[in-house]
Amino acid sequence: MKLEHVLQRKGATVQTIRPDATVADVVARLAEHNIGALVVSEDGSTVVGIVSERDVVRQLAESGAETLTASVDSIMTPMVTCAPPSATTASLMGVMTESRVRHVPVLDADENLVGIVSIGDVVKSRLNELQDERDALVEYVNVGR
């Protein structure tokens, strides 16, 4: 299944945060939206980084409570693994595993943010694909009887 289809099912809304926001803002937004990562963007369209729960926890372990007043750009991951809408969930599973990332922004041909997929979205999509294949095979076997 292509990512464009995953985004049609789950929605293309992406939560972003500015690089000059605070880590406390990140924590509040992650909790508010019950998500694991925010795309860091100046304009809501161009990706400059990504910040996840893991980034926050690691920085808290290193610097303590003062982390909450730090800026997002001080803890974000600036090298972001992204994918086009035409990428398949099967190929993305490999990329996510190899890159050890759980969230992948989806960018159009002009490099504009059009969505985000998590490992959970990819796994759910693959399970649905496998169920559809199973159902088709069962129907094929039953029709032949």
Task: Write the CA distances from 138 to 128, 130, 131, 142, integer angstroms.
Answer: 15, 12, 10, 6
Residue 23 to residue 31: CA distance in whole angstroms = 12
Residue 22's beta-bridge partner residues? 71
**Is residue 126's pLDDT more than 90?**
no
**Is residue 8's pLDDT more than 90?**
yes
Q: What is the pLDDT of residue 144?
A: 65
**Is residue 85's pLDDT more than 70?**
yes
pLDDT tens for 128-143 read: 888 888 888 888 888 8
Domain extents in the chain: 3-143
Give the pairing of strands 16-17 and 49-52. unpaired
pLDDT tens for 29-84 read: 999 999 999 999 999 999 999 999 999 999 999 999 999 999 999 999 999 999 99
User: Which region, left, alpha or beta, applies to residue 58 given φ > 0 means left and ψ of -120 to 50 means alpha?
Assistant: alpha
Q: What is the pLDDT of residue 143?
A: 81
Q: Across the chain, what does the average pLDDT equal?
A: 94
Q: What integer is the mean pLDDT of 83-95?
A: 93
Q: Which CATH class is domain 3-143?
A: alpha beta
**Is residue 145's pLDDT more than 80?**
no
Q: What integer is the mean pLDDT of 95-112?
A: 95
